[in-house]
Amino acid sequence: MQGVLANDMGIALVNIFLLAILFVVAVAIARMRSLFAIVMLSGIYSLVSATWYVAVDAVDVAFTEAAVGAGMSTAVLLGAMLLTSRTAKPEHLFSRIGPMLVCVATGAALIYATVDLPALGDPNSAANTGVGYTYLEINWYDTGIPNVVTPVLASYRGFDTLGETTVVFTAGLAVALLLGFGERSLAEMIRREDKGGARTKGKGQVPTAAKDEEPS
Amino acid sequence: MNADHHVILRVVSKGLIPIIILFAFYVQFHGDFGPGGGFQAGVIIAVAVILYALVFGVPAAMRAVPPAFTRSLAAIGVMIYAGVGFWAMLQGGNYLEYQALFHEPPGEHHGQHIGIMVIEIGVLFGVSGAMLTIFYAFAGRVAEIRDEDW
């Protein structure tokens, strides 16, 4: 009994510690003006939340968060940051009041909603009694795959995952159609290099094609 | 590249990128047994190429992994995934019914393993291709990442 109690205490401390880091990072992001620091801090935010997902036993979610949130979106935001200025404009005090009210109202609604949520790992909660429990029971007979997340994702919910893959593909296609494939600057640069021979390209020498397509 | 004070960055990332891609394949093919799968592996591969682009410049990355290749890869991935569904239909089952792939009775798992493996490869192609297409769309608009941008 003593051991169980101490274990619960340790988990609670880990949760409080990680959530406190998340809170501090979020406040720092909200107060910061340098976009580079904000991108880095949002990567740290994702990494800490991935750690927290591991602490609540959601390993697959943690993996995805670490790969997408901390890796991919940080890299894409760094790429996007090159197109804009390095710092955010400071706003007036009055223009902050509206967003502040929205945040407080949303936060209050969410905290009110948590009152009705079942406790973490509650065996009688809706997530653990319905189809989720059935998957855990029949998965081994049906598919013979040890990690139950993979058959749920790919076999039982194969249609959903096909839809998700299509969504990702459509997102890539839409961005490419809106922004262009980014090939024009490359083609220009390769042509220049091939014509000019080896390594004549200097620093800060921007190809003309890339200049032409800058947003006005 | 010219007078180069990112030499440590370049040397370290040159060693790291193959390991990152190797880890992505581990995540891909170990997804049946541990955390991971096609989506995560696709993102990790995309991040490896993006790291290359950030350190060595976008044109170098575009020459190694051309944009035409990435967007074809995304389309091919979705086609592989959808194709498994049609394969199951050709074998007389329902769409994406892996059990029908090799006409197995319930309780045998060959079709499930193969089907999930193939669709995960489709997800890998689709996700890494789409992510790289998005990155190229953003990063291709600036010619080169200058030193002041770091």
Sorted by where each begins, the domain ranges of chain B are 7-149
Q: Give the distance from CA B15 to its chain's centroid.
A: 20
pLDDT score recorded for residue A206 = 44
Q: Does B7 touch chain A (CB under 8 A)?
A: no
* Cβ-based contacts of B95 with chain A (< 8 Å): 159
The dihedrals phi and psi of A164, each to the nearest 5 degrees, come to: -65, -45
pLDDT of residue A130: 81
Would you call B88 exposed, middle or buried from its count of C-beta atoms within 10 A (0-12, 13-18, 19+)? buried
CB contact under 8 A, A159 and B68: no
| Chain B residues with CB-CB distance to A76 below 8 A | 50, 131, 134-135, 138
Query: Does position B138 have pLDDT exceeding 50, yes or no?
Result: yes
Mutate to test the interface with B, among A35, A39, A169 (most CBs of B within 10 A): A169
Structure tokens, A50: 């991935």
Neighbour-count burial of B95, counting CB atoms closer than 10 A to its CB (0-12 exposed, 13-18 middle, 19+ buried) = middle
Mean pLDDT of the region A4-27: 85
Residue A193 has pLDDT above 70, yes or no: no
How far apart, in whole angstroms, are the C-alpha atoms of residue B142 and residue A179?
A: 12
Helices (H), A69-157: 73-81, 93-114, 126-129, 131-142, 149-151
> pLDDT > 70: what percent of chain A?
81
d(CA A215, CA B55): 25
Minimal Cα–Cα distance from B85 to chain A, Å?
A: 9
Beta carbons of B116 and A154 less than 8 Å apart = yes
Three-class secondary structure of residue A91 per DSSP: coil
- What mean pLDDT do residues A72-79 have? 83
For residues B60 and B146, what is the distance between their CA atoms, to the nearest angstrom?
A: 14
Residue A216 has what pLDDT? 37
> What is the CA angle A114-A117-A121, rounded to 5?
125
Burial class (CB in 10 A: 0-12, 13-18, 19+), A116: exposed
Point out the residue among A72, A158, A164 whose CB comes nearest to the CB of B131.
Answer: A72
3-state secondary structure of A13: helix
- Put simply, the answer to whether A158 touches B96 (Cβ < 8 Å) is yes
Residue contact B109–A165, C-beta within 8 A: no
The per-type count for chain B, helices as H runs and strands as E runs, is 5, 0
B67 touches chain A (CB under 8 A): yes
Q: Which positions 94-123 of B are in contact with A (Cβ < 8 Å)?
A: 95-96, 98, 106-107, 109, 112-113, 115-116, 119-120, 122-123
Q: What is the per-residue pLDDT across A120-179, written as a single tens digit (0 to 9) for each?
A: 777 888 777 888 888 888 888 888 888 888 888 888 888 999 999 999 999 999 988 888
Identify the band that residue A4 occupies on the pLDDT scale cut at 50, 70 and 90.
low
User: How much is the pLDDT for A151?
Assistant: 86
Q: Which residues neighbour B136 within 8 Å (Cβ) at sequence distance 6 or greater?
A: A176, A181, A182, A183, B58, B62, B67, B70
pLDDT of amino acid A212: 41
The pLDDT score that the predictor gives to residue A186 is: 64
pLDDT at A203: 43
Mutate to test the interface with B, among A165, A173, A184 (most CBs of B within 10 A): A165
Tell me the pLDDT of chain A averaged across its residues.
Answer: 80
Number of C-beta neighbours around residue B147 at 10 A: 13
Please indicate whether, in this complex, the C-beta atoms of A141 and B149 are within 8 angstroms of each other.
no
Alpha-carbon distance B3 to nearest alpha carbon in chain A (angstroms): 9
